[in-house]
Chains A and B, each alone.
Chain A
Amino acid sequence: MPTWRKMDPLFRGDGPDGPAVPKPTADASYVRHILYLEGVGRSTPYLSTTESQVIARRFAGSSGQMRQTTVRRAEERQVQHISQSELLQLLRGKGKGRAAWSNAYEVMQARKYVEQWLEHLLSFETFSSLTAEELRRLIDDVFEGSRDPVT
Chain B
Amino acid sequence: MMLLSCSNCWHNPLQYGSIGLSIGYCTEHRVVLRQADETTCGRQRRKDLLHTSALRSSQLQQDRYPLNEVVRLDGTSFNGEAEQYVTPEIAPLQEDQIGSVVAEYSEFDTKIEALAQLRQIGTPRAELARLSLGRAYVARCVTRGGYWHSGLNLLWWAKERLAEYPQLRIDDIRLQLPIPLQRQQELEAWSLLMLRLAFIADVAAHAASGQAISQQGRTLGARVARLASLPEEAAEHAGTVVVKLFRWVGRVALQRMEEALPRSEYRALSQELHRES
Contact = CB atoms under 8 A, between A and B. Distances in A.
Contacts of B1: 15, 36, 40, 59
Interface in A22-65: 35-41, 51-52, 54-55, 58-59, 61-62
A127 to B, nearest CB: 23
A103 B48 contact: no
Contacts of B2: 58-59
A40 B35 CA distance: 18
Contacts of A61: 35, 37-38, 73
Contacts of B65: 40
A1 interface: yes
Contact of B187 (A36, A105, A116): A116
A40 B37 contact: no
Contact of B60 (A35, A38, A51, A112): A38
A16 B81 CA distance: 16
Contact of B3 (A15, A36, A93): A36
Interface string A85-118: 0000000111000000001111111011101111
Contact of A105 (B75, B175, B232): B232
Contact of B178 (A36, A39, A41, A54): A54
B80 interface: no
A133 interface: no
A37 B61 CA distance: 11
A116 B35 contact: no
A36 B179 contact: no
A76 interface: no
Contact of B240 (A94, A106, A108, A118): A108
A119 to B, nearest CB: 11
A111 B74 contact: no
Interface string B169-193: 0000001111110011001001100
Interface residues of A, number: 36
A1 B236 contact: no
Contact of A116 (B75, B179, B233, B236): B179
Nearest to A35: B3
Contacts of A36: 1, 3-4
Nearest to A61: B38
B24 interface: no
A78 to B, nearest CB: 27
A37 B57 contact: yes
Contacts of B187: 112, 115-116
B55 to A, nearest CB: 12
Given A17-B74, A62-B35, A39 B240 contact: no
B49 interface: yes
A54 B179 CA distance: 11
Given A1-B180, A39-B4, A104 B232 contact: yes
B1 to A, nearest CB: 7
Nearest to B187: A112
8 contacts: A1-B180, A58-B2, A58-B175, A103-B53, A104-B235, A105-B50, A106-B50, A118-B178
Sort A-B residue pairs by CB-CB distance and give the 7 closest, nearest first: A39-B60, A104-B236, A52-B178, A104-B235, A108-B235, A105-B235, A61-B38
